[in-house]
Amino acid sequence: MMLMMLWAMALKKEPFPSRMRGLFDTHCHLFMEPLSRDTGGVLTRAFAAGVERILIPSVSTGNWDACAELALLPGISCALGVHPWWADEGLEVEELRNKLIEADASAIGEIGLDWKTEVPRRKQYTIFEQQLELASSMDLPVILHCRNAFEEMLELLEKHPVRGVIHAWSRDPQLMKRFLKAGLHISFGGAITRREAKKACESARQVPNDRFVIETDSPSIGLAGVPSGKSEPGHVAEIARVMAEIRGEDISDLQEAAWENSVTLFGEIS
């Protein structure tokens, strides 16, 4: 309760210039350690960095409730789903449907395909397709995870058209354009702060102004100068700064576009 009061009070202040749109971290696992050990500190630092909204995707049925509880805080919303790494746990579709409604979730996620994990591909495929069908029936966006399964994912997206975002983009513009054609937004994170990640940076330069969002995927993905496991939602400010630099845009214009795209995709919250 105290945490909720402090975060609500903070959001009523105006720490940024009136012309500057606040930041929206569209992918942060706030329920994971080490973030969960210092939720108040993490949110205070995020607010100080200009963050106004955070979206928390689950990864398994075991953290649906934790995500829903965090989404009771002002400025925070959740996505619920089963990540391919946990596909072996199975999925009760009606249970997920009910949880999404109960939590007033903004999306279904984090879901997808990952051919680098040991979870059987057939199981991943089945769980992913079930969640795509649910997203379509509920008219909810999806938050997609994909590693080494891009062709298979694109085939499923053609079969089950949905709106949503493919997160933590690190690939080349040619592949990105195929996901854009499928109707998805592209989410950029810590990869673009590492200048050796030339493909990701070029994708960030070329993505249309109305089809990108930004994220930290904290604490899982680091950024230049911040190792994996140490990132926080407040680091989305650095990601925005670097993306504006890559695109040759003013930071205020970049943040405005990122915010509008994120809200268009995930909706407003009270």
The predicted model gives 176-194 an average pLDDT of: 97
The count of residues in the chain is 270
Q: How many Cβ atoms from other residues are within 10 Å of residue 33's Cβ?
A: 10
How far apart are the C-alpha atoms of 260 and 83, rounded to whole Å? 27
Query: What pLDDT is recorded for position 269?
Result: 79
Picking from 30, 124, 114, 25, the residue whose alpha carbon sits closest to that of residue 68 is 30
How far apart are the C-alpha atoms of 23 and 94, rounded to whole Å? 34
Query: What pLDDT is recorded for position 6?
Result: 47
Tens-digit pLDDT profile for residues 78-117 = 999 999 999 999 999 999 999 999 999 999 999 999 999 9
**DSSP codes joined into one string, the chain:** -HHHHHHHHHHTS--S-TTSPPEEES-B-TTSTTGGGGHHHHHHHHHHTTEEEEEEE-SSGGGHHHHHHHTTSTTEEEEE---GGGGGG---HHHHHHHHHHHT-SEEEEEEEETTSSS-HHHHHHHHHHHHHHHHHHT--EEEEEES-HHHHHHHHHHS---EEE-S--S-HHHHHHHHHTTEEEEE-GGGGSTT-HHHHHHHHHS-TTSEEE---BTT--BTTB-TT---GGGHHHHHHHHHHHHT--HHHHHHHHHHHHHHHH----
Query: What pLDDT is recorded for position 2?
Result: 46
Question: 131, 91 in Cβ contact below 8 A?
Answer: yes
Q: What percent of the chain lies above the pLDDT cut of 90?
A: 90
Residue 4 has pLDDT above 80, yes or no: no
How far apart are the C-alpha atoms of 107 and 130, rounded to whole Å? 15
Distant-in-sequence, close-in-space partners of 263: CB < 8 Å, separation ≥ 6:
24
Q: Class assignment of domain 23-249+256-266?
A: alpha beta
Residue 141 has pLDDT above 50, yes or no: yes
Query: What pLDDT is recorded for position 19?
Result: 45
Residue 67: pLDDT band (50, 70, 90) is very high
Q: What is the mean pLDDT of the chain?
A: 93
Query: What pLDDT is recorded for position 17?
Result: 40
The predicted model gives 60-83 an average pLDDT of: 96
Tens-digit pLDDT profile for residues 13-30 = 444 444 467 999 999 999
Picking from 193, 152, 146, the residue whose alpha carbon sits closest to that of residue 171 is 146
Q: What percent of the chain lies above the pLDDT cut of 70?
A: 92
